[in-house]
Amino acid sequence: MTAETHTEKKLAILISGSGTNLQAFIDRMQTNSLGAEIAVVISNRPEVKGLQRAADAGIATETIDHTGFASRELFDEQLIECINRYQCDAVVLAGFMRILTPQFVNHFHGRLFNIHPSLLPKYPGLHTHQRAIDNRDKEAGATVHFVVPELDAGPAIIQASVPIEPGDNAELLAQRVLQKEHIIYPQAVQWFCEDRLQLTNDNVLLDNRALPKTGFLLAE
C-alpha cells in the first residue's frame, strides 16, 4: 500500500432513486480521477436502481427505509450511525429526497454536499427549470453547495450554466443541465478530497482563496 492509499478519503453517497449523479461518481472513481473511495451507498427507499448501480460497481449498499421510523430525528440518528460505521469523511446527497434535520446537518458540517438544479440563489426549492423559463431567463444551470439547515441556502462551491433555447421546455432544459451536473458535482467533491476545499465561517475557500458567493464558475 502506498501512502496515497492510506490518505484516500471515504464517501457516503445518499440516494432515493435511479442514481444518475451517483453513476457520475462511480465513473470517476473507476478511472481513479475522484481522489476518493465510495465506501457506501445508502438509500431511504428499497430496491431503487441506484442501489443496483452501486452493487454492480462492487460498492457496499445499505437501505434505511424512512417509513419505518416515527420521526425524522430517529431516522437521521440511524443514518448518522450507518455513515459513521463506514468511517466516511464526507457525505454526498445525490437525489436524496429527504429534508434532513439540523442535528444531521450540523454533525457533518463542512463535509456535507448537495447539488441543486438552478443558479443559486435563484430558484431554491422545486420546479427550477420551469421557473427559469417562465421568467424568460437567458440561462439556467446547477450549483454544488455545502449543506446548511436552511433549504438550498448553503454556500456555493461551483456552478455551471446552459443557455435557455427558443422552444425549450422544462424537460429539455433539465436534460442539458443534468449533463453539467455530472461534471461539476464530482469536481467539487474531488477538491474536498484533495484537501483543496474548505468551509470557514460561511466562506468557501478553494486553494486558500475565498470563492465568490456564487462559487467557481465552470468555463464552457
Residue ranges covered by each domain of the chain: 1-108, 115-220
Beta strands 139-146 and 203-206 are unpaired
Amino acid code (one letter) for 99:
I
- Give dist(CA 142, CA 177) in Å, integer: 7
Q: What mean pLDDT do residues 45-72 have?
A: 98
What CATH superfamily is the domain 1-108? Formyl transferase, N-terminal domain (3.40.50.170)
Q: For residues 53 and 30, is the Cβ–Cβ distance under 8 A?
A: no
Active-site residue (options: 6, 109, 116, 129): 116
What nine digits make up the cell of 28? 470517476
* Residue 116 is a catalytic residue: yes
Q: What is the pLDDT of residue 220?
A: 62
Please provide the CATH number assigned to the domain covering 115-220: 3.40.50.170
Residue range 29-55: mean pLDDT, rounded:
97
DSSP 78-135: HHHHHHHHTT-SEEEESS---PPPHHHHHHTTTSEEEEESS-TTS--SS-HHHHHHHT
**Cβ 154 vs Cβ 145: under 8 Å:** yes
Least Cα distance to 12 among 2, 22, 27, 24 occurs for 22
pLDDT tens string 104-153: 999 999 999 999 999 999 999 999 999 999 999 999 999 999 999 999 99
Asked if 1-108 and 115-220 have one fold, the answer is yes
pTM: 0.95
